Structure 1
Amino acid sequence: MNNRISAASIAAAIGVCVAYAGPAQAEEKAHQSVADDDGALCLTFGPQSPRDISKVDGINPVVFGLAPPRTEMELCNIHTHTNAEHKGPGYSVFVSDGEHGGYACNETGSLSEAELEPLEGEFHGVAPGDTIEVHWVHTTCTAEPGPGLGSCVPEGCENPVLRVEAQTFLVVNDRDALDFMDMVSVKHGGGYFQPGVIPSNTGTPVVYLGSTTGPSYNQSQCSPAKVTWSVRPQCAKVDIATVHEWAEMGNVFEEDHSHGVRQLVTAPELLSSID
């Protein structure tokens, strides 16, 4: 693949996700390392995401430099997926192998009745007891926060470097849980747009080289984007009322629903090695 990737080509490729329709418990199917259900592995691409962050092996030959720290990049987009796209020590409960599948937080089955009490709201696809994976997307382009990942690769920015900070949350009806609004707020400091708060007590982030995600990709249909991921290994609880508030108040990202997932990439040929 040509190493020179234009903003337009990435924006077209890192496209759209669909609304979440609700989890269904299922046994995890065995993944093959030689081919995906849709055909042969897309071996001409760089390393892919999401992955099991507890496993470090990968043999994809494409190597690129890590993105700068997020504090030296522009926050360009925030969005959520239901359930977790990655698999980690704190979110290893398999939900299903569909675009509304992925992984749930390990504590899901032990929530109290109060934490699971339904609450009406406007952020579609998220209810108490759900797991969401939040992505704070950063870019080296001169960019402002906006809707879609296209905001991260504006016209005229060639070869953008992307970083995604990821945190998985267990959504509960509890006002003492984390305030989602704190985490999706946007501030401007040090010359860059930055997120308000990203939890710092959910374990040391696993940093690896990968791609963009979303249900339009699988092990046969790969993403061309090169992304540095920083994925926290443990879940945190977030208050459902504040998740709904994000949509009800309106946000610069125009997010009003939680997106589907790309199934876990397991073929070593499509994974980078984690140091």
Structure 2
Amino acid sequence: MQVFIRTLLTAGSALALMGTSSFAEELCKGFGPQTPRDISMKDGTNHRVFNLAPEASSMNLCNIHTHTNAEHKGPGFSISAGTGEHGGFKCNETDSLTAAELAMPTGGHNEEAFHGVKPGDTIEVHWVYSSCDVQPGKGLGACLSNSCANPQLRVESQVFLVVNDPKAANFMDFAYMGNAVNGFQQPKSLPAGTGTPVVFAGSTTGPSYTEATCSPLQVTWSVHPQCAKLDINSLNAWAKEDKVFEEDHSHGVRQLVTAQELLAPIQ
């Protein structure tokens, strides 16, 4: 989940946002469970308790954004992409794509394309939900308001392997485009068929955070364990048509949190 420090400050929030270290004394102290994590590993010794957020259908969608390479590690995305802001994990099928799947879209990356993503890349998409009565918009600031500065937050996460193939998943099926259901702002749908999501307590993510510089925000995560192929042309269409989020590029990643003291146990 992307870090939006300036947006939060601009929104007047009272929330103060907070290389993985191998030295325990360098770990941040006093913070709740952190994210991202290896969702196959259920252990954790951070027992800071907060109530898990309601199901996504009972909350307002407030933001959609992507990270290039998966921030989490899971059964379907376990190939290391290295460290740093552009590290993370790749889908397991990355090396088995065809030449056609890897071909650049007609016209390549023009000014209307979603920047920072090409066929063959892995992306992790975050649908962010808030308990506040808000409308979807740019950054995490869209998830709170002057009358609701400490919302419950939930992120639905799906990792995609981006291909040039119209038969792959269409991102516009998961777009917002002004959709509302039972009074809640909602995407048109969420991905399905990629395994039962792993639900756990965590935090916000993004490259500004490490195991030494932690996020104080409390987030309920729901991460699908398998990748799905996604048509890059539909991702470009989303950037062009679902303008409310002002997303025109894919963001960096926070490195995997491995210290047990910073992870909540997964039930």
TM-score by length of 1: 0.87
After superposition, give the CA deviation of every residue in 1:131-186 in whole Å (9 maximum; x if it has no partner): 00000000001110000011001222142100000000000000100101111234
Once the two structures are TM-superposed, the CA of residue 9 in structure 1 deviates from its matched residue by 3.1
Is residue 39 of structure 2 the alignment partner of residue 53 of structure 1? yes
Give yes or no for contact 1:33–1:268 (8 Å, CA) kept in 2: no
After superposition, give the CA deviation of every residue in 1:195-237 in whole Å (9 maximum; x if it has no partner): 1121110000000000000000000100010000000000000
Is residue 58 of structure 2 the alignment partner of residue 72 of structure 1? yes
Partners of 2:52 and 2:12 in 1: CA distance? 19
- Find the counterpart in structure 1 of residue 3 from structure 2: none
Partners of 1:109 and 1:9 in 2: CA distance? 45
Q: Which of 231, 242, 245 is equivalent to 1:239?
A: 231
Is residue 72 of structure 2 the alignment partner of residue 99 of structure 1? no
What are the ranges of 5 or more consecutive residues in structure 2 without an aligned counterpart?
Answer: 1-10
Partner of 1:252, secondary structure, is helix
Distance 1:69 1:7, change over 3 A: farther
Identity of aligned residues (%): 58
Paired positions, count? 251
Mapping 1:1-275, distance limit 5 Å: 8-10=13-15, 13=17, 32=22, 34=24, 40-119=26-105, 120-121=108-109, 122-186=113-177, 187-275=179-267
What are the ranges of 5 or more consecutive residues in structure 1 without an aligned counterpart?
Answer: 1-5, 15-28
Partners of 1:167 and 1:9 in 2: CA distance? 30
Partners of 1:148 and 1:173 in 2: CA distance? 28
Partners of 1:77 and 1:250 in 2: CA distance? 11
Partners of 2:230 and 2:36 in 1: CA distance? 22
Partners of 2:94 and 2:158 in 1: CA distance? 16
Segment of structure 1 superposing worse, 206-215 or 153-162: 153-162
Give yes or no for contact 1:137–1:162 (8 Å, CA) kept in 2: yes
Partners of 1:201 and 1:60 in 2: CA distance? 31
